[in-house]
Amino acid sequence: MTDSFVVNRRAVVAGLGALPLATAFGRPALAQGAADVPLGMVLPFSGATGSYGPAMKQAADLVVAKVNGAGGILGGRKVKLFIEDSETSATASVAASKKLLEVNKVELVGGFWGSPEALAAKPVILAANKVQMLSCAANAVTEGDTKGLIYRLQAKSSQWGPAGAKVMEKIGAKKVTVLAQQNPFIVAMVEPFKAEMAKIGGQVMDVVMYNPDQASYRAEVEKAFGPEPDAVFVLPLLTDMVSIAKEIFRGGFTSKVVSLGTGADAEGKFLQAVGPEVAEGIYHLQPSPPIDSPSYARFVKEMGAPEGTVFLFAGNAWDQVCITVLAMEHAKTQEAAVWTKSVREVCNPPGEKVDDVVKALKMIRDGKKINFNGAGCTCDFDEKGDSINRSFYVQLIKGGKNTPVGVVS
């Protein structure tokens, strides 16, 4: 057994050693053909964050269809999108990413709603020299060596926290408590929030943490709202926010509630689940998509959502595909290590502003310098791949509707 194994292993290693050479020679020939350009995404469809995946998949599928319908990229080649379930699990995401990279030969592994999934898949994707695009918030993902291959379309945790404090200032809340789920996206917000509160002369009286998947949140709500603070900064995901909001309402608490779009909006799912009465008076913030632009309105319509829906993650998935095809067109290759250098070229100013991906592709072909603005953000990136110029859009739920309060940055 051992002998044959050694032989096998040698054969495998030799074969693998030859692989990069083969691909290096094979690529140009391939690029001239009409083969599809494979892209991949790892999205959550099951587990604790399973409710966020479907809209992202829908958006990505839509934009791929749009690009292909308009003649594809790189001289008529079609984009083919492969989507894997992250199972809200880092382990599953590694297997999924490997499958995308090695079997489907994707140039982009995008999606990544959750930070643990992104952190676990990061070494795998970087080792393959492909691009990783994120819709998650934990600072750690873009820290360390990113080889210039990582782009985050979401705001970082450390940006969310201070934004929350500014909302507190806006609504005149001085004494506040924090009620937060123990997860990597949220825990990184708490300290920056406290620091910013101190700066604006407020006081954080208590931080109440809870675990995902609890049977009830009665005791936690009691603890956070019991001391009657001016406002409570509630940092949830969707499922727990539905329970917590019910608890707050039934408890008859009077403190104001400032929450996150991840929980208290979730692209309209929150209101659907709790109804207008329970949701009344809850403030929530999220990194703002270009709400007023016609292209965003078009995006909402294409998603089949009611007018004015603020998409938080679906827009990220949409933009990930857009940025990738634009950068590929700009670099005139599907090779990730090459087109990653084009990402800032097509996304950051200066350049003619454009938000329609088909139009943008055409402009690139015409040799124009463009500045792409997406459906989820302006898509401008710093050298670490974090998106810059993030402002947060604050809404108040009133009469069963999200009503804009303003923008903080």
Residue 296 or 311 with smaller CB distance to another protein: 311
Span of 197-205, 216-224, 288-296, 330-338 interacting with another protein by CB under 8 A: 216-224
Order across the sheet with 401-408: list the strands.
203-210, 175-181, 231-235, 256-260, 282-287, 392-398, 401-408
Check binding of 274 to another protein (CB under 8 A).
Answer: yes
**Residue 103 binding another protein, by CB under 8 A:** yes
Q: Do residues 25 and 283 make contact, with C-beta atoms less than 8 angstroms apart?
A: no
With respect to another protein, which residue has the nearer C-beta, 246 or 344?
Answer: 246
Q: Which residue in the set 39, 45, 68, 329 belongs to the binding site for another protein (CB under 8 A)?
A: 45
Residue 32 phi, psi (nearest 5): -75, -25
Rounded to the nearest 5°, which phi and psi values hold at 407? -125, 130
| 88 vs 333, beta carbon nearer another protein | 88
CA 232 to the chain's CA centroid: 25
Q: Is 23 in the site for another protein (CB under 8 A)?
A: no
- Output 82 or 174, the one with its CB closest to another protein: 82
Site string for another protein, 284-323 (x = CB under 8 A): ----------------------------------------
Q: Interface with another protein includes 271 (CB under 8 A)? A: no
Residue number, 241 or 361, with CB nearest to another protein: 241
Candidates 29-37, 250-258, 300-308, 391-399; binding stretch for another protein (CB under 8 A): 250-258
Query: Is 273 near another protein (CB under 8 A)?
Result: yes
- 228 binding another protein? (CB under 8 A): no
29 — phi, psi (to 5°)? -60, -40
Q: Which residue from 109, 163, 242, 375 is in contact with another protein, where contact means CB under 8 A?
A: 242
Q: Is 142 in the site for another protein (CB under 8 A)?
A: no
Which residues are within 8 A (CB) of 77 and not within 5 positions of it... i.e. 6 or more apart? 34, 35, 36, 37
In whole angstroms, the minimum distance from the beta carbon of 275 to another protein comes to 7
Q: Tell which one of 123, 349, 400, 404 touches another protein (CB under 8 A).
A: 123
- Least Cβ distance, residue 367 to another protein (angstroms): 37
- Give the x/- contact pattern for another protein in 48-67, rule: CB under 8 A: x-xx-xx--x----------
Residue 304: exposure state from Cβ atoms within 10 A (0-12, 13-18, ≥19): exposed
Give the residue with the Cβ less far from another protein, 116 or 202.
116
Binding mask 371-400 for another protein (x = CB under 8 A): ------------------------------
Contact 317, 77 (CB under 8 A): no
Among 3, 33, 277, 292, binds another protein (CB under 8 A): 277
CA–CA distance from 190 to each of 163, 244, 245, 343, 394 (Å)? 11, 19, 20, 32, 18
Residues 324-353 that bind another protein (CB under 8 A): none
Q: Among 32, 65, 200, 222, which residue interacts with another protein (rule: CB under 8 A)? A: 222
Give yes or no for residue 99 binding another protein (CB under 8 A): yes
Query: Which C-beta is closer to another protein: that of 84 or that of 329?
Result: 84
In whole angstroms, the minimum distance from the beta carbon of 409 to another protein comes to 25
Using CA atoms of 195, 197, 203, 209 in order, give the dihedral in degrees to the nearest 10. Answer: -70
Query: Quick check: 90 binds another protein (CB under 8 A)?
Result: yes
